[in-house]
Amino acid sequence: MKMLHGIMIFAGIAAMAASAADKSSEEGGLLSPGTQAPDFTLQSDRGDTVRLADYRGKNYVVLVFYPGDQTPGCTKQLCAIRDDYSRFTQKGAVVFGINPAGKESHEKFVAKQHYQFQLLVDNGQKVAGMYGTNGLMLRRTVYVVDKEGKIAFAKRGMPSDSDILAAMK
């Protein structure tokens, strides 16, 4: 009985340690505000070639890394941006959703939800890796890149549109 009790206590401690490690790694890998945003070139749902460098000196760029097309959380997040899109354009921002789904999947998602912004295809999660959002499953993360190409905002999860917009000064 003592042995079983000891094993249960050890298992509980191990579970708490694993949970703490998960939480710390959840925030780990985020690019810090003020650092240079890694440049990338990706294809969009429209067939366009999108280069982050093309927006330097012109626009804020909002990068929304999200796990999957047509999933409830991702749809909610991207629809909130769609509904507030005029607030983003008033700030001089362009928005891109990014995940590893293919062009056809993105096309269907955009058509169904009427997104004004493009969804980018990140084959092999190469860009996600540069931005610290890759893993077994893409980690939902939002970045704002300022007009000089530096990270102005970085947050895991679903930050409010107001929080994202506040990073654009």
Catalytic amino acids? 74
Q: Which two tokens stand for residue 17?
A: 């340690």
Q: Give the distance, in angstroms, between the CA of residue 167 and the centroid of all CA atoms in the same chain.
A: 15
Are 62 and 144 spatial neighbours (Cβ–Cβ below 8 Å)? yes
How many CA atoms lie within 13 Å of 39's alpha carbon, on the beta-carbon side? Answer: 7
Q: In 3D, which of 67, 75, 68 has the Cα closest to residue 105?
A: 68
Q: Cα torsion at 97, 101, 104, 109 (round to 10°)?
A: -50
C-alpha to C-alpha distance for 157 and 91, rounded to whole angstroms: 22
